Amino acid sequence: QRKNPFSSDDRLASKPAHAHRGDPTYGRPPEGSRTEQRGKDAHSHVGREVEELCLIIRRTGEVGEDGHVSVTFGQLFETYVTISNKVVGILLRARKHGLVHFEGEMLWQGKDDDVVITLL
């Protein structure tokens, strides 16, 4: 409708054209939109869950010789699953931010119960 010369909808004329790759606004919601606010809210919620996970690791884990707190995935899963069913996703996010370390790409309940998770 933006290119239609017979359209009299002024709202369309004021909207910017879609961003293209390389543009800093590409793939981002418009500033001030409800979509942007929902994204910010989700980001802060996940951040709080990561903090809570780190606190639980600190509480349930044991301090090793290197001074870092460690816990097995099985023990962490049993403790944290009563709080949230997103244990693995939150662990992956914490590792992405450099807060925890564990071997492997993904952790599976039962199979990886003995994998050690270290709080950095």
What is the arithmetic mean of pLDDT over 98-103? 95
Domain limits, the chain: 34-119
- Report d(CA 43, CA 54) in Å as an integer: 17
How much is the pLDDT for 95?
A: 95
Q: What are 80-89's pLDDT values in tens digits?
A: 877 777 889 9
pLDDT single digits (tens) 21-71: 888 888 888 889 999 999 999 999 999 999 999 999 999 999 989 999 999
Say whether pLDDT at 13 is over 60.
no
Q: pTM for this one?
A: 0.70
Domain range 34-119, CATH architecture: Orthogonal Bundle (1.10)
